[in-house]
Chain A
Amino acid sequence: MTAPSITPFKVNIPPAAVSDLRERLSHARLPEKETVNDWTQGAPLDNVQALIRHWRSGYDMQRLAKRLQAFPGYWTTLDGLGVHFLHVRSRHENAMPLILTHGWPGSIVEFLNVIGPLTDPTAHGGKAEDAFHVVIPSLPGYGFSEKPGAKGWGLPRIARAWGTLMQRLGYERYAAQGGDWGAGVTTWMAKQQLQGLAGIHLNLPLLFPPPVVGEPNDEEKASIAQLVAFGADKSGYAVLQSTRPQTLGYSLADSPVGQAAWIYEKLGEWSDSGHRPETVISPDDMLDNIMLYWLTDTAASSARLYAESFATDFSPQKLDLPVAVSVFPGELYRPLRVWGERMYSNIIYWGEASRGGHFAAFEQPALFVQELRRGLRPLR
């Protein structure tokens, strides 16, 4: 048995893929305009047209490749599945190793703007003792990681694979961070008390359904109302991806406009921007993320994580490892510390940021970095 290998991985965007994309965009057939003047029927036609226009004629089709090539990328096999990850070491030897996990419809692109501040804090307003070595994998079925060919890649298994990855990289003591599905993976890393995992940071603690005791107070009622609103009006994509990811996948695999709108809607609804995602995430950055989904044809495989875990593992878990939480005001719901205390026996940090939403690292990289530094400081 040879030692598991880690091989360098360079992202390339083949010219043929670009010309195929351009061809599809130039022939895009759009539906009629929505019958409302807001986002209640989904991403508005004017916004989607503007995004597609930029994709066709403003966006540099090699931008994503250039940005990813700026960081060391690797490939390794975990539990039989090929996983792509970025691995950026700090020049500070005492830096804390940190594995950052993205969610849906995010990707490693969400974290590109925080790599510098996290690994090189002294160049970004921080102190040397705030430094991290960062590991940023693509989830199974996402980005350049392989697509599982059989059921079973739910959150607990992904979490164990991440533990293997950190061991393989030689990290004996590390922290983990995530939001969205990344929070699910991170929660399950802590739940399984992976060897070497010192603690975690979450920007979407899985406190739903909320562990309410007795009659909820006003603050609890407000957060519960957010969860109810999510379930009633905002969960269509999740119900669909949980039950028929393959059928949805046919249209998104075939239509870049469909893929773009499917993601853009979430950037609009879930960012802290009042449905103006362009004001917090540049269209180029949004398209980098959309481009990653498109090029890797991962609409179906990414949706499949909902079928694997949404109704089961994506739920409150009792945790005894140290947990840090940062709450961003535009998040889908406001998780309450009192709920966290019922599930997490060792809360080392509970912060509330002034700006930012569900895509915290993507929207507010500086605040996100500040939260991580503060949140994980007790573990150093």
Chain B
Amino acid sequence: MQDKEFLMSDISTLLSAKPVSRRDAAAGLARGGAALALSSGLLPGFAAASTADDAGSATDAVTPFRVTVAQSSIDDLKRRLAATRWPDRGTVDDWSQGVPIDAARRLIKHWHERYDWRKFERKLNAFPQFRTVIDGLGIHFLHVKSRHADALPLILTHGWPGSVVEFIKTIGPLTDPTAHGGRAEDAFHVVIPSQPGFGWSDKPSQPGWNVVRTAQAWGVLMKRLGYSRWVAQGGDWGSGVTHALGHVRPDGLVAAHVNWPLVFPQQFPEQPTPEEKAAMEAAGRFASDQFGYFKEQATRPQTIGYALADSPVGQATWIYEKFQAWTDNPGRVEQVLSTDEMLDNISLYWFTNTAASSARIYWENARNGGGFDAGRIELPMAATIFPKEIYRAPRSWAQAHWPNLIYWNEVDRGGHFAAFEQPQLFSEELRKAFRSVRA
């Protein structure tokens, strides 16, 4: 396992915060670029967060918003799906080279013949939605207040290739716990924004919208909604934003929960525990075999955008591959997520034409340097580890990064899309995680 050893040594180089030697990095070139992928980093440094400021926005107006996709857009989608031109079957029967063609054909057939976007639109529009301009950018969000006046305000941030769709099944349990096996004192008011460049938020036209800036914007948003004491949650890039919130510390933020802790140690232990070793190896697999989409989006988001913007089958498979790979499924993702709900998320990307703008979050944050280490965070932090997460962070690593670790739990089912896959369990975790910070 030459490659594996190589990766391990490279990860330790990266994590010891020494620059990867030129020769090591060049060596990676001939081995699929894995080493270089790591040397180019996963997340930005979080050290320098300036203060939140929305002085640039012309108005604080919060405007009600409903999703209404034009019928012509739906017709155009169906026309494109009917005209899909397929590649050949390829040389393998499994997922090792991407979505197998039979699975892709089933998905596209369902999208074309059976999927009903209007049904999802009605579901989405049943929740109060708004747009407001923050730091010059229009932000779309769901805002669902609990009927319990003492509910704790919570901002939930999605990642890529997720969206607000991931959280829809948690809105009931979080805002109305007594109807979902919880107690009134577990209630949350939820704010679920679309990240910049995602969904019905604006697409930035200038560079600079990294996770720190988004975190600052979220601080402005919560203040604008009148919340003076609130908490935050996120996974994937939502986890990146939520860690950034821990650094930015906007007014009123009292704690945060993540389901993907970015707590890799600066110095990898010489005698790793089995848990630490498993986390390192899983991160290594991610940074090699699973890293193509990441590297492409971190370096050439515009180019991949042309193909995905023009081809619904391309957009669908680009996302579907990740649902299969990163969910806790017994073989097929359809056993944990329905085809319809995956297509809700895929259709959201398609109709908003956000393949390029969403990919750009990688370019903004992971172009240069960094790692799975978002740094030391003083804010009270909580985490739930789901078994099929890309890697499972050991608690000891979190303790080393988070002096105020208020909650840690490892659950028995769920993956990277925790809220989407296991909404009830996810909701219960948030209730427990934030119980100690309720006033």
Contacts and interface: CB of A to CB of B under 8 A. Distances in A.
Most chain A CB neighbours (cut-off 10 Å) among B86, B298, B304:
B304
Interface in A16-54: 20, 23-24, 27-36, 41-45, 48
B306 A258 contact: yes
A297 B300 CA distance: 23
Interface in A307-323: 307, 310-311, 314-316
Give the dominant DSSP class at A's interface. Answer: helix
For chain A, give the interface size range: 35 or more
Give the dominant DSSP class at B's interface. Answer: helix
Nearest to B293: A240
A210 interface: yes
Interface stretch (A78-86, A173-181, A190-198, A230-238): A230-238
A221 interface: yes
Given A221-B22, A307-B97, A257 B306 contact: yes
A299 interface: yes
A9 interface: no
Interface in B181-234: 203-207
A23 B76 CA distance: 13
B292 A241 contact: yes
Interface string A265-283: 1000000000000000000
Interface in A281-307: 297, 299-301, 304, 307
B303 A42 contact: yes
Interface stretch (A69-77, A155-163, A242-250, A353-361): A242-250
Interface stretch (A59-67, A114-122, A128-136, A142-150): A142-150
A151 B83 CA distance: 29
Contacts of A230: 29
A239 B92 contact: no
A4 B383 CA distance: 66
B207 A251 contact: no
A229 to B, nearest CB: 10
Contacts of B39: 231-232
A317 to B, nearest CB: 11
B360 to A, nearest CB: 7
Most chain A CB neighbours (cut-off 10 Å) among B22, B83, B207, B290:
B22
A113 interface: no
Contacts of B355: 31
B291 interface: yes
B388 to A, nearest CB: 19
Interface string B31-49: 1111111011000000000
A231 B100 CA distance: 28
A254 interface: yes
A206 B80 CA distance: 42
Interface of B: 3, 22-23, 25-37, 39-40, 76, 79-80, 83-92, 97-101, 104, 203-207, 289-293, 295-311, 313-318, 321, 353, 355-357, 360, 363, 367-368
13 contacts: A23-B83, A27-B80, A42-B304, A149-B89, A208-B26, A212-B23, A232-B368, A239-B33, A244-B98, A246-B97, A252-B314, A253-B86, A311-B32
